[in-house]
Structure formats: C-alpha cells, structure tokens
C-alpha cells in the first residue's frame, strides 16, 4: 500500500475526573453516572496516514498496548469508515506514541479513539459534524464521546456520553501520580456495590460556575472506595500529596492514578520530587509523577 496523503499528527489528551458519582446501572450492564471531566496537557500523540487501499493497521511504542482490533483506536477507525461514504476507497495506518500510562484512570485508550475520529474527519475534509463524531463514539466506550468533542471541560451524564460544557479548571496545577500498576476499569465497576449510592449526594452546579471558582471540597469519586480497598498504595499517595501542599487530592476515574490540586508551581514541583523519592524507596513499581495543566 502507498500513502495517499501526508500524515496527520494529533494529540490525544489525558483527563481527570474531578467529581464522579454512580447513580444506577442499566440493563445493558453500563453504569449511569454524573462526572466532571477535565482534559489535560499530558497527551499521547497519534500519527494518521491515509492509504489508497482499504485496511486499518496500528502500531505503538508501548508493547502493553494491543495493535489489533482490540485497540479502541482501531475500533474508532472502523466506526468512522463504516459511516463514511468513501469507506471502500481508503484505509489508514495509526501510529500511537504513548505518554499517558495504560489502565491508569486517565482515559488514554478512549482519548486515542477520540483522536482517531477527529483526525480522520480532518483528513477527509470534515464530512461529519462534532455531534456526529460523538454519536460514532458512543458505542466505543463511556469516555470516547468526551474525547471526540472539542470542549476541554464537561459535565458528563448517562454513561459519560451526554456532555454539557463547563468552565475549565485552570486555576490549579495537577500533580498526577501513578503507582505503576494497572487497574482494569471493568474490574472496578464489577466490584462497585450500588448500595454505596444511598449516601447523600449533592451535585454543585458546575455549569453555572464562573471560571476560577472550583472548590477542592467538591472532589469526590465513588469508585475510589472500591480501588482503595484493594490497593492501599493509593491512600498513601493521597496522604503524601495532601501533606505537601495539595488543596485536595482524588483518584481519577477507576484509578489507580491520583491527582493533587496545587496553586503554586514550586509546591507542585516539591510534591513531585517527594513522590519520586518514595517511588525509589518502594522500588516495587515504576512510579510515574508529573505536573499537568488544564488543556485540550
């Protein structure tokens, strides 16, 4: 096969869940939720190369990432071409450079899928609206719709596919700490007892907040209790971040990545250094610690 267009490079940003509450379970097995999601400047980079013959292929610089039809980016390409009028005339090669840890609660796989939808739409002259891309994203996974959308911050409902734009949380730096082991999203949801939802649930009106007014007291994640129970390392990370200047800390998504909110870069940098020292002392897992900002 030969290339029929210059490759397109496109970013696939990580996300954090600043608030995540489970409100029920659907007949199809998906959980209904309400979550405030923020895209970050930490991102994978994808290179999409259109081919002049049909076929979808994928490669990745991380051997832990599948490159067959089990990869959500590949599934996104199939979804795009199944809906595209010229699907019989084109193919694509997807090259993924991973910066986002795998199975970390940061949405890396879903973001790669959303980037493929957005990138192929650009390469083929934007045949689809953003809303159509969101519709194509829905069957691919709960977070993919968010990454097919242009907004950096949303209140997501349903299974995470009903999106309402919110002001970005730009007033904080986010120190992300991943303890180096993966946690499967499916396992966390399977072990989440819906009886947890009987506690009081007060949802701030995120949509109406002025920019710069996010309160760390709103940090909340129903899934954190499931993952914490089996992985006490997560609580240790939270304790260290809180003890070194974080205004608040929380596990993102299904974990195990924890983030802390910092007003000042010097405090964030100090927290990263402390976490890196702890990672070297523990030595069991390759701890990942980085400072990120709100982005898209």
Active site residues: 15, 143
Task: Check: CB of residue 291 under 8 Å from CB of residue 173.
Answer: yes
The residue to which tokens 């069957």 are assigned: 139
Kindly list the strands in the beta sheet with 258-262, ordered across the sheet, starting from the edge strand earlier in the chain: 248-251, 258-262, 173-178, 288-292
State both tokens at 152.
Answer: 């950096």
Task: Check: CB of residue 181 under 8 Å from CB of residue 164.
Answer: no
Residue 295 CA to residue 118 CA, distance in Å, equals 16
Task: Check: CB of residue 209 under 8 Å from CB of residue 167.
Answer: yes
State both tokens at 75.
Answer: 């599934």
Distance of CA 287 to the CA centre of its chain: 19
Task: Check: CB of residue 291 under 8 Å from CB of residue 168.
Answer: no
Nearest to 112 by CA among 125, 95, 124: 95
State both tokens at 98.
Answer: 């991973």
């Amino acid at each position: 096969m030969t290339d029929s267009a210059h490759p397109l490079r496109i970013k696939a940003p990580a996300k954090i869940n600043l608030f995540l509450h489970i409100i029920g379970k659907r007949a199809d097995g998906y959980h209904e939720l309400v979550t405030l999601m923020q895209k970050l400047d930490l991102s994978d980079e994808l290179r999409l190369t259109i081919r002049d013959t049909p076929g979808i292929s994928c490669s990745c610089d991380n051997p832990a990432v599948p490159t067959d039809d089990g990869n959500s980016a590949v599934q996104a390409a199939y979804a795009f071409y199944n809906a595209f009028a010229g699907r019989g005339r084109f193919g694509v090669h997807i090259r993924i450079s991973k910066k986002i840890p795998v199975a970390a609660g940061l949405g890396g796989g879903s973001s790669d899928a959303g980037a493929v939808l957005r990138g192929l739409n650009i390469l083929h002259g934007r045949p689809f609206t953003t809303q159509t891309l969101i519709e194509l994203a829905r069957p691919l996974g709960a977070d993919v719709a968010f990454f097919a959308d242009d907004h950096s911050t949303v209140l997501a409902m349903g299974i995470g596919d009903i999106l309402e734009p919110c002001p970005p949380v730009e007033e904080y730096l986010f120190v992300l700490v991943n303890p180096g082991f993966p946690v499967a999203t499916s396992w966390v949801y399977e072990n989440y007892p819906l009886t947890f939802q009987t506690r009081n649930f007060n949802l701030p009106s995120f949509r109406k907040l002025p920019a710069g007014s996010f309160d760390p007291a709103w940090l909340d994640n129903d899934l954190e209790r499931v993952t914490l129970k089996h992985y006490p390392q997560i609580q240790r990370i939270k304790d260290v971040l809180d003890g070194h200047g974080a205004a608040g800390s929380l596990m993102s998504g299904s974990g195990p990545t924890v983030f802390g909110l910092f007003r000042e870069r010097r405090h964030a940098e100090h927290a990263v250094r402390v976490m890196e020292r702890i990672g070297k002392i523990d030595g069991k897992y390759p701890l990942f610690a980085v400072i990120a900002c709100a982005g898209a």
